[in-house]
Each structure stands twice: as C-alpha cells, then as structure tokens.
Copies of this chain bind each other. A is one copy, B any other.
C-alpha cells in the first residue's frame, strides 16, 4: 500500500506524470511531429521537438505551425496538471509571437500556468531553439484554456 506524500490538493508527482504521459501518448500529432514529453511539474510542462525536414516552412526553418503545435501542447498539458480528476482541458484561444527564425537542432517549449480558475486557465509558453550549445528564445505564447468534464 502506498502513501502519497503530496500536499492536500496537489496530486502526487508520479500520478501527475502518468496522467500527462497518457494524454501525450494519445496525441497523434505529437507522435507524428516527433515531439517528446520533457519535465512535468505542477503547473509546468516541457516539450522537445528535434529538427527534421518534415517540420519546415519554405525557407527551411521550423514552420510556425510546428512551433505553435508544441507550444499549444506544452501549455495545454501545463493547464491539465491543474485540472481536477475526471476533467480535461481544451484550448479556447492562443496568441504567439515568433521572435526569431526558429532554426537549430531542436525546439523546447515550456508552458507555465499563470492563473488557474474553476473554468478558465491562462498559460504562458516560452519556446527556445537549441543550436550548437546555445539556447535562443524563438517564440512567446499567451493561451486560454477551458476545463471540462472528460468525455466518457
């Protein structure tokens, strides 16, 4: 028999990670893009995306759609860490600034919950490009999500 060491109201970290991993693994787009789930903590989730020719726009950089996809996912999973059991989250809207050409070996998106309410959650997401040892901010997202009972 296990005893959770989590604070009251804070899901234990292993359970949280399992829950986020399960949702991540059911996301066909994340798998198809080659994205990998990174660190998961209450209110914060990292996603990594290695570069490849399947992710580019017409100039050969990461397509803004690829950048936005992992940013939306990192933000969504960060919000999901705050959702009650039996609930899920859906993106209501997001806004992303592309700060610099997204080029390098991989991207890393870091979603952080800014405000978590009963119905709506607001998240900020930073996206970095990793290129020959340097980490450069390439995008910044502000996202709104809604918490809903999980469909049966």
Q: Which residues of A contact B (CB under 8 A)?
A: 23-24, 26-33, 52-59, 63-66, 68-70, 72-73, 76, 88, 90-101, 114-115, 119-120, 122, 124, 137, 140, 142, 144, 146, 151
Docked Cα-Cα span, A27 to B57, in Å, equals: 4
User: Known contacts A32-B32, A65-B29, A115-B137: does B88 contact A92 (CB below 8 Å)?
Assistant: no
- In the complex, chain B residues whose CB is within 8 Å of the CB of A58: 23-24, 26-27, 88
A140 close to B120 (CB less than 8 A) = no
Measured between beta carbons, the chain B residues less than 8 angstroms from A28 are 52-57, 63
- How far, in whole Å, are A94 and B68 apart by their CA atoms in the complex? 10
- Give this chain's copy count: 4
Given contacts A58-B23, A68-B65, A142-B142, contact A93 B98 (CB under 8 A): yes
Choose among B30, B94, B137 the residue that contacts A96 (Cβ–Cβ < 8 A): B94
Q: Which residues of B contact A144 (CB under 8 A)?
A: 92-93, 97, 144
In this complex, what residue of B is CB-closest to A71?
B65
